[in-house]
Amino acid sequence: MSQDTTLINKQRQDLSQHHSVWLFGYGSLIYKVDFPYLERKAATIEGWSRRFWQGSHDHRGTPEKPGRVLTLVETPGELCTGMAYRVTPEVFEHLDHREKNGYLRFFTPLSFDDGSQDQGLVYIATEDNAAFLGAAPEADIARHIAGSSGPSGSNAEYLLKLHTGLAELGVTDPHVEKIRHHLVQYL
């Protein structure tokens, strides 16, 4: 079951007073940049880990057979590296629609490679949203991903493009790697 969070996100933060806002991407926002941005650079957030625990009813799956996509889960002491984009507030009209299936925007501190820090927004699908699938063994997640496809393409493509994007950032994510290792047997 999907949950359209578009209106909720508009109400959560009034971005109209900002000239620009940093956006942190940890999943498809690393490799699928279908929005204009002012600046782009690698960034890290602390206390979060990527997990394929969110259902995708609208992009990498269907309402009848949702795919599995990433969300973030709180993990004290962990670092999550991704890509940050400085965007104008108007871009969130598109992003809120793109990330509407259970994702809420949260402000979080971002750390950049040059040692600087700033606040940024990140989309997180929390466990209380209707599309949350939760934890499962990586082999089961890989099998689920191998059998899912939606309007944005196959779920396997999402995982493989993410792996490439993370490799370009010099990141090896153990959760992503374990699932990819299991996935190759289905391709």
What are the pLDDT digits (tens) for 31-82? Answer: 999 999 999 999 999 999 999 999 999 999 999 999 999 999 999 999 999 9
What are the structural domains, with CATH classification, of the chain?
6-186 (3.10.490.10)
d(CA 106, CA 122): 5
What is the value of pTM for the model shown? 0.94
- Told to judge if 99 belongs to the known catalytic residues of this protein, a careful annotator would answer yes
Catalytic residue (choose from 46, 64, 93, 99): 99
So what's the pLDDT on residue 2? 56
- State the CB neighbour count (10 A cutoff) for residue 75: 14
Residue 46, C-beta contacts closer than 8 angstroms, at least 6 positions apart: 77, 78, 79, 80, 109, 111
So what's the pLDDT on residue 3? 75
Does residue 166 sit in helix, strand or coil?
Answer: helix
DSSP string, 104-152: EEEEEEEEETTS-EEEEEEEE--TTSTTB-----HHHHHHHHHT-EETT
